[in-house]
Amino acid sequence: MKYHHLAVTATLFLFSLCLCLVFVPGCGKASRIQGLVPAKGVVLYKNSPVEGATLTFFPDAGSSSEQRPATAVTDASGRFTMMTLQPDDGVFPGKYTVVITKNIPEKVYTNEELQAFFRQGKPTPIPEEKNELPDQYSDPKTSPLKVDLASKGDKTLKFELVD
């Protein structure tokens, strides 16, 4: 009986080990998408870096079926690195229209206001947002910003926004 219990325990241990070997390698960071190229740059407005701006690259009409929109957010120095699915993974080569916005909530609720909404059983209102950059850059139909990213070469971009 003692040996039977030991055999069952050993069998369960080996079975668990095999399951780990099968499933664990699939966990963790996903692999990089094939064909993406790194793209980075800086956004300036009135000759100053723009912090907290959101960039979106929209594939132009007639683009490759592989192309997808890509996004980035600028840091304090106005710098960005584009991503398609994972941070800093890059962009598919091709032609894009670039949209850049910097939306700031018009109302920031104080802690007391938030607690009052909670006590009254009311949902917190979502404040309207205001784009701090010129409107022409906020829509792919009106944005004059275009990029053509090749599969090779430097993809360091500079967007200088004007009123």
User: Over pLDDT 70: what percentage of the chain?
Assistant: 79
Tell me what pLDDT residue 152 has: 80
- Residue 1 in any domain: the answer is no
- Residue 27 in any domain: the answer is no
Number of domains in the chain: 1
Q: Domain containing 65: what range?
A: 40-161
- Per-residue pLDDT tens for 39-97? 999 999 999 999 999 999 999 987 777 789 999 999 999 999 999 999 989 999 999 99
Is the per-residue pLDDT at 120 higher than 50?
yes
- Residue 73 in any domain: the answer is yes
3-state secondary structure the chain: CHHHHHHHHHHHHHHHHHHHHHHHHHCCCCCCCCCCECCEEEEEECCEECCCCEEEEEECCCCCCCCCCEEEECCCCCEEECECCCCCCCECCEEEEEEEECEEECCCCCHHHHHHHHHCCCCCCCCCEEECCCHHHHCCCCCCCEEEECCCCCCEEEEEECC
When pLDDT is cut at 50, 70 and 90, the band that residue 115 belongs to is: very high
- Residue 30 in any domain: the answer is no
- Residue 98 in any domain: the answer is yes
- Residue 19 in any domain: the answer is no
When pLDDT is cut at 50, 70 and 90, the band that residue 150 belongs to is: confident
Tell me what pLDDT residue 138 has: 96
- Residue 62 in any domain: the answer is yes
- Residue 18 in any domain: the answer is no
